[in-house]
Amino acid sequence: MGYVAWAYLILPESERDRLEALGSEGWELVGVGGDADEGVLYLKRRALDFRERVTMEQRRRYYESLGIEARGDEGRGGE
């Protein structure tokens, strides 16, 4: 099996409503922590390689220039 690089994201539990959108971008909830006052959500996804990152950034800028919000994670080959 080859090397897999991971990207990590940590969110306050108060942002739980973002989980569905983040899931559609390939993020997976892998843990919940924090303290009683404020929980913390830990997410990970396969790190994008340079080609995928540039493609996504260019797509976002293009859509933003048209006033359209870029959605999904099409640059990852549907994974």
pLDDT at 23: 94
Q: How many domains does the chain have?
A: 2
Q: Per the structure block, which two tokens stand in for 73?
A: 């994670």
56 and 25 part of one domain? no
2 and 23 part of one domain? yes
Domain with 15, as residue range(s), is 1-47
What does the alpha-carbon distance between residue 64 and residue 60 come to, in Å, rounded to a whole number?
A: 6
pLDDT at 11: 95
According to DSSP, the β-strands at 39-46 and 6-12 are antiparallel
77 and 56 part of one domain? yes
36 and 6 part of one domain? yes
**pTM for the whole structure:** 0.61
42 and 56 part of one domain? no
25 and 11 part of one domain? yes
User: Beta-strand (E) ranges in 1-77?
Assistant: 6-12, 28-34, 39-46
54 and 39 part of one domain? no
pLDDT at 59: 81
> pLDDT tens per residue, the chain (79 residues)?
678 889 999 999 999 999 999 999 899 999 999 888 889 999 999 998 877 777 777 888 888 888 887 665 444 444 4
What does the alpha-carbon distance between residue 34 and residue 13 come to, in Å, rounded to a whole number?
A: 9
